[in-house]
């Protein structure tokens, strides 16, 4: 948490600092406006002379490995979140650091979950200085209330890769939990008793961290195949009893929605895509793992089946629904960044067309293009949307930072971005004059689908033209806002926030698009 | 070609310069003695803002692409040699450069072949300043006679990756011929009418070059799967009629040897490995593509079949013989860096355990280990060996530089390195007091197998002990040398060389292990 003397207004009108956690940052300049001029991060050159010729990099314990990596005060330690709420490694790392009396570490997870609640004590005692990474749930609440020493920095999956590639974040030690690995450090997430899917979130860490530890509970003789993580990047390998609970990788609901309102939203979204001419042979889409998104996938499947067409590819976290489409032949490829159930893991292991991707291939904005912008339609969620189509995905209307960005910002670059959202939640309108936190600029958000109507971004005159004779309830966003306010009895109340900044939201190019301010709890 | 005023003696006693082609270089210091202290090369940070959002990077011609890449005087242009003598791209690049009046280019192929003879005119007219890369045949002769403006620099496959990773060579424009690609630049070598196998030799180029052009004759819709080359590294894609002659990827002979001497050498090598205890369940090996090496593979197969054991993996360029072992179940994995026939290409496409590797995974000495040092036994060739087991693989005894290093230096790090060689060639002893060019230090070469006996490096007391009661003709290298000299009527004559240095041989760590001096042709 920090009270800044000076803030500057960025291109979406938010006041943001020019320095965060001791590093200079660039305020958001607009989509595609910030062009980097520097060079990528260059990690130290290693030499085979310093690694065992027989390829055996095994050490006896995670503690031994952390010590061998030179763990010391102020270092940045990274982990990945492919086990989601079933991660068993991050807590162990900081238990060891605490035992060794290490202080002021920066934890750089690709995301944190409620299972990481035990780390609050280390944030309190100074073992961990601050977290840069998504803070889902309790750690987000802790940060929101201003209890973290440094500022939280939230990045999209692509932004995290960008930050490591560009040297915005230098990882001292990466600890990569791998469901299968060999003694050389080649590793994958698709085989073994705790298989969790791809390991792409750890790719940047493996490539750029100064020291890399692979921990596994399924050691195989060289070569571990496939090797999504290259042993050539790995310093040490540790065999543990269990590295994660793969049954906890499940995200969102795993069943299509039964709510009549949400089913209606799903159907309207699918119809919209169809009337907009998006659903045709060879199209591509990405949908999330929520009940509404799953239902949209079901509609898409039915359209493909009826018309005997197929999608070229489907991107995203996979679960049993995309897998069913692949196995029925309704989609040619799944390009998968994380699996949301064990059926997704099985498919990735068995189907050669179910491919492991990474934030580098799919999302990194500081690449020579990425996959995200090639997708015909992406269907995403949001906690709030404003009348300029700016959207929030990290904080609630009470100001609490409770969600990560995930791939959300990166996906906004799809050819058509649709947010199917309820018009209100807990009698609080979801469409506001201004969102609590801007995570994505309105110019990239094309369509809002609610149970009472669909708003098309005025910038998308092409879509407005295509839908002009539609029987779908096309409205302006102001009309939707007015309806919501009428039903809820007025505009949403603003959260009670302090002046202090507790977290920053990075845009895909590393610039600062917004900040999160301290929530003043009810009792204060 | 250059006449140096000052040379220094390196750790194998060769006089080498401390500057080559305008860059400071380090003389060879011994195996594992040079420890790099710097950081890897950091290419400029690109931005998706500068690439088409729809992922379509197509341009109409190679010329357009080279111009778009800003081709200008003095640049370094790289190509790969997966088509070997069937490459159709490199000549086109320099035809275009010549047409545009560009001068002083450095060509940085992973290897060059006789098909590149047309480039001699560009070396003569200054379009190409010099070549850093293996020069097989005519270009090697041209260089040997001192006709190239700069010094040739020869690197192993791993050394080439190292040089690019470490910034010893900065590639301005990489042109990657890909048998299959999509408009985004994702590419592979296993599919399409000109499939040639893996594209690993172009990996470093794709990762580190400032500009990357993919040329293909088989364009597929996104996603091109597998994507051994990531489109995220690619600037432009060009569709051509034909990029290479895949039937010309054949290397060495494709049949086992029929020569009685060579068959004897092959059998002795296999017996040696067996008596040394190397051939056991789960062992690994790498053999070349020559007739002798193939025959050794046949013996290994028979031993595996008889004893019902299998090899864990086989590394190397593959052809129909390793593929037969894989498909018979005698080996679990082929880790393949280049395919030497179309049967290898087919297997790579069809067999999930026939894996594409790269100089990064297999050979890069400036990684955190590599695959090469884990191999139980490697069987390699040599043009000459000296009494200290130092070996030459690039030049002939007449001084002509006619071969590339390939993966040869990298493979020397295997647990047991065996050179099966004839005792003499053209009545010239192969074992000499000193080799013409040192490519590999004797301490890494364990065994010499000739038709008249086997010499074990005195450093390998373990092997000497294991073979002490063998019925194999174990001799000292001096005994073998004496036998050869007796048969040939004396020591080999030394080549007639000038003072000028025409090429340098890099060791796997980027240091200079030897130089090649100008050959004075017969007529001079």
User: What pLDDT is stored for residue A253 in this prediction?
Assistant: 58
* pLDDT tens-digit readout, A422-444: 999 988 999 999 999 999 999 99
Structure tokens belonging to residue B474: 């174990």
Please report which confidence band the pLDDT of residue B125 belongs to, taking 50, 70 and 90 as the band edges.
very high
Q: For residues A393 and A381, give the distance between their C-alpha atoms in angstroms, rounded to a whole number.
A: 7
Domains B31-132+169-248 and B260-498 share a fold: yes
Q: CATH number of the domain at B260-498, out of 3.40.50.2300, 3.40.1080.10, 3.10.450.40, 3.40.190.10?
A: 3.40.1080.10
- Going by C-alpha positions, the residue among B447, B491, B456, B451 that lies closest to residue B475 is B456
Beta bridge partners of A418: A379, A447
Q: Average pLDDT, stretch A388-398?
A: 96
Q: Are A161 and A359 in contact (CB under 8 A)?
A: yes
Structure tokens belonging to residue A70: 């030179």
- The yes-or-no verdict on residue A61 having pLDDT over 70 is yes
Q: Which of A368, A417, A510 would you mutate first to test chain B, the one with the most B CBs within 10 A?
A: A368
Which residues from A are below 8 Å from B33, CB to CB? 49
Assess: ipTM above 0.85: yes
- Going by C-alpha positions, the residue among B203, B204, B150, B172 that lies closest to residue B93 is B172
- The yes-or-no verdict on residue B334 having pLDDT over 80 is yes
Considering only CB atoms, B366 lies closest to which of A46, A57, A312, namely A46
The chain-wide mean pLDDT, for chain A, equals 96
User: What pLDDT is stored for residue A162 in this prediction?
Assistant: 98
Cβ-defined contact of A32 to B48 (cutoff 8 Å): yes
Q: For residues B455 and A126, give the distance between their C-alpha atoms in angstroms, rounded to a whole number.
A: 63
Please report which confidence band the pLDDT of residue A407 belongs to, taking 50, 70 and 90 as the band edges.
very high
Q: Are B440 and B365 in contact (CB under 8 A)?
A: no
For domain A260-496, give the CATH superfamily: Glutaconate Coenzyme A-transferase (3.40.1080.10)
Cβ-defined contact of A46 to B166 (cutoff 8 Å): no
Q: In terms of CA atoms, which chain B residue is nearest residue A334? A: B223
- The yes-or-no verdict on residue B524 having pLDDT over 60 is no
* pLDDT tens-digit readout, B444-475: 999 999 999 999 999 999 999 999 999 999 99
Q: Are B83 and B249 in contact (CB under 8 A)?
A: yes
Domain A55-248 has CATH 3.40.1080.10: yes
* pLDDT tens-digit readout, A64-123: 999 999 999 999 999 999 999 999 999 999 999 999 999 999 999 999 999 999 999 999
Residue B426: Cβ-neighbour burial (10 angstroms; 0-12, 13-18, 19+):
exposed
Q: For residues B286 and B312, give the distance between their C-alpha atoms in angstroms, rounded to a whole number.
A: 12
- The yes-or-no verdict on residue A523 having pLDDT over 90 is no
Residues 410-429 of B with CB under 8 A from A: 413, 415
Considering only CB atoms, A45 lies closest to which of B223, B366, B374, namely B366
* pLDDT tens-digit readout, A151-207: 999 999 999 999 999 999 999 999 999 999 999 999 999 999 999 999 999 999 999
- The yes-or-no verdict on residue B252 having pLDDT over 80 is no
Q: Are A370 and A220 in contact (CB under 8 A)?
A: no
User: What pLDDT is stored for residue A376 in this prediction?
Assistant: 98
Q: Which of B223, B331, B361 would you mutate first to test chain A, the one with the most A CBs within 10 A?
A: B223
Q: Does B118 touch chain A (CB under 8 A)?
A: no
Which residues from B are below 8 Å from A208, CB to CB? none
Q: Which of A28, A46, A57, A369 would you mutate first to test chain B, the one with the most B CBs within 10 A?
A: A369
Q: For residues A358 and A200, give the distance between their C-alpha atoms in angstroms, rounded to a whole number.
A: 4
Please report which confidence band the pLDDT of residue B253 belongs to, taking 50, 70 and 90 as the band edges.
low
Q: Which residue has the tokens 């330690």?
A: A77
- What is the DSSP secondary structure assignment for residue B401, as one 8-state letter? B
- The yes-or-no verdict on residue A259 having pLDDT over 90 is no
User: What pLDDT is stored for residue B293 in this prediction?
Assistant: 83
For domain B31-132+169-248, give the CATH superfamily: Glutaconate Coenzyme A-transferase (3.40.1080.10)
Q: How many CA atoms lie within 13 A of A515 on its CB side?
A: 31
Which residues from A are below 8 Å from B221, CB to CB? 282, 312
Q: Does B358 touch chain A (CB under 8 A)?
A: no
Q: For residues B219 and B193, give the distance between their C-alpha atoms in angstroms, rounded to a whole number.
A: 11
User: What pLDDT is stored for residue B331 in this prediction?
Assistant: 97
Angle, CA A461 vertex, CA A458 and CA A465 arms, to 5°: 125
Q: For residues B386 and B388, give the distance between their C-alpha atoms in angstroms, rounded to a whole number.
A: 5
- The yes-or-no verdict on residue A289 having pLDDT over 80 is no
Q: For residues B104 and A467, give the distance between their C-alpha atoms in angstroms, rounded to a whole number.
A: 58
Q: Does B360 touch chain A (CB under 8 A)?
A: yes
Containing H/E element for A494? none
Q: Report domain extents, chain A.
A: 55-248, 260-496
pTM: 0.97
User: What pLDDT is stored for residue A265 in this prediction?
Assistant: 95
Residue A456 vs residues A2, A12, A450, B163: alpha-carbon distances, Å: 39, 20, 11, 52
Q: Average pLDDT, stretch B77-98?
A: 97
* pLDDT tens-digit readout, B487-505: 999 999 889 999 999 999 9
Q: Are A331 and A353 in contact (CB under 8 A)?
A: no
- Going by C-alpha positions, the residue among B85, B97, B184 that lies closest to residue B137 is B85
Cβ-defined contact of B223 to A313 (cutoff 8 Å): yes
Classify strands B354-356 and B331-339 as parallel, antiparallel or unpaired.
parallel
Q: Average pLDDT, stretch B34-60?
A: 98
Q: For residues B200 and B355, give the distance between their C-alpha atoms in angstroms, rounded to a whole number.
A: 11
Which residues from A are below 8 Å from B225, CB to CB? 333, 352-353, 355
pLDDT > 90: what percent of chain B? 91
Q: For residues A459 and A522, give the distance between their C-alpha atoms in angstroms, rounded to a whole number.
A: 40
Beta bridge partners of B334: B314, B354
Which residues from A are below 8 Å from B333, CB to CB? 223, 225
């Amino acid at each position: 948490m920090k009270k800044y003397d000076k803030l500057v207004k960025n291109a979406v009108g938010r006041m943001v600092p020019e320095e965060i956690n001791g590093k200079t940052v660039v305020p958001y300049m607009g989509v595609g406006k910030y062009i980097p001029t520097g060079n990528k991060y260059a990690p130290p050159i290693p030499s085979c002379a310093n690694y065992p010729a027989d390829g055996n990099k095994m050490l006896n314990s995670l503690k031994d490995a952390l010590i061998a990596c030179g763990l010391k005060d102020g270092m940045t330690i990274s982990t990945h979140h492919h086990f989601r709420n079933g991660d068993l490694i991050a807590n162990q790392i900081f238990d060891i650091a605490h035992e060794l009396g290490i202080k002021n570490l920066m934890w750089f997870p690709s995301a944190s979950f409620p299972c990481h609640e035990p780390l609050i004590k280390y944030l309190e005692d100074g073992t961990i200085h601050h977290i840069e990474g998504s803070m889902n749930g309790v750690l987000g609440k802790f940060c929101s209330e201003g209890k973290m020493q440094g500022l939280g920095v939230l990045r999209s999956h692509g932004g995290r890769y960008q930050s490591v590639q560009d040297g915005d974040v230098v990882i001292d030690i990466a600890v990569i939990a791998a469901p299968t690995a060999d003694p050389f450090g080649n590793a994958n997430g698709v085989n073994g008793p705790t298989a969790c899917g791809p390991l792409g979130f750890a790719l940047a860490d493996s490539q750029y961290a100064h020291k890399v530890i692979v921990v596994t509970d399924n050691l195989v003789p060289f070569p571990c195949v496939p090797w999504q993580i290259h042993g050539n990047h790995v310093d040490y390998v540790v065999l543990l009893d269990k590295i994660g609970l793969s049954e906890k990788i499940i995200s969102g609901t795993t069943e299509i929605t039964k709510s009549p309102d949400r089913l209606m939203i799903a159907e309207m979204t699918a119809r919209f895509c169809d009337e907009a001419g998006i659903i045709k042979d060879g199209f591509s889409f990405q949908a999330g793992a929520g009940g509404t998104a799953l239902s949209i996938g079901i509609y898409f499947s039915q359209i493909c089946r009826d018309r005997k067409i197929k999608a070229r590819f489907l991107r995203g976290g996979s679960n049993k629904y995309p897998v069913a489409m692949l196995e029925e032949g309704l989609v040619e490829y799944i390009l998968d960044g994380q699996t949301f159930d064990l059926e997704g893991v099985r498919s990735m292991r068995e189907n050669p067309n179910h491919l492991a991707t990474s934030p580098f291939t799919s999302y990194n904005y500081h690449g020579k293009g990425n996959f995200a912008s090639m997708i015909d339609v992406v269907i995403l969620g949001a906690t709030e949307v404003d009348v300029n189509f700016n959207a929030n995905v990290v904080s609630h209307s009470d100001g609490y930072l409770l969600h990560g960005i995930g791939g959300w910002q990166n996906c906004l670059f799809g050819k058509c971005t649709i947010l199917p959202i309820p018009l209100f939640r807990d009698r609080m309108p979801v469409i506001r004059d201004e969102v609590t936190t801007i995570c994505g600029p309105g110019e990239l958000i094309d369509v809002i689908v609610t149970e009472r109507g669909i708003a098309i971004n005025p910038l998308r005159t092409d879509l407005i033209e295509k839908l002009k004779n539609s029987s779908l309830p096309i409205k302006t966003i102001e009309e939707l806002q007015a309806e919501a306010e009428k039903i809820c009895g007025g505009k949403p109340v603003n959260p009670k926030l302090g002046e202090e900044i507790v977290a920053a939201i990075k845009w895909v190019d590393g610039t600062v698009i917004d900040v999160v301010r301290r929530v003043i709890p009810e009792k204060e």
